Amino acid sequence: MVSPPATTSSNSITRRFDALKKASRRALVCYVTAGHPDVDRSLETLRALEEGGADIIELGVPFSDPIADGPIIQASSQQALEKGMTYDGVLAIIAQARLSVPVVLFSYLNPILAAGGDALSRAAAAGASGILVTDIPVGADPAREEWL
């Protein structure tokens, strides 16, 4: 595996895994759907996860058709959307939380595309350390992979 260059936003993720390896620890990676059950509780949950020892937090971007997810994430995603959560709302949560642990957006491709061509740079500016796009198999779309 090739390490990312030092200038990438994933550097905080690399540093976290390097520190864990040095300490002979495994990573505690936690998932939360942004905006579920509401913005305030999302912020409380993110801060509690950080205080509780999470090494990395995956913050789910709600999507209307989360077919690859199980019923719990599908329901939380639907509830967040019903309360008005958007891609930019997810970024606002990251910016407001100001966590010291890496936060990785966990998203399907459609919300990212719908957010516009600068969606990734806005995520980095908000404080996201990386992004997992769950519905693009590696090698299926090299041009999109390059963009991501």
The strand pairing partners of 60, in sequence order, are: 33, 106
Whether cis (ω within 30° of 0) applies to the bond prior to 37 is yes
Rounded-to-integer distance, Cα 46 and Cα 52, Å: 10
Q: Report the largest interatomic distance among the alpha carbons of the chain, rounded to a whole angstrom.
A: 43
Positions marked catalytic: 58, 69
Rounded-to-integer distance, Cα 76 and Cα 82, Å: 10
Residue 83's alpha-carbon distances to 7, 41, 63, 67, 107, in angstroms, are 36, 13, 13, 20, 18
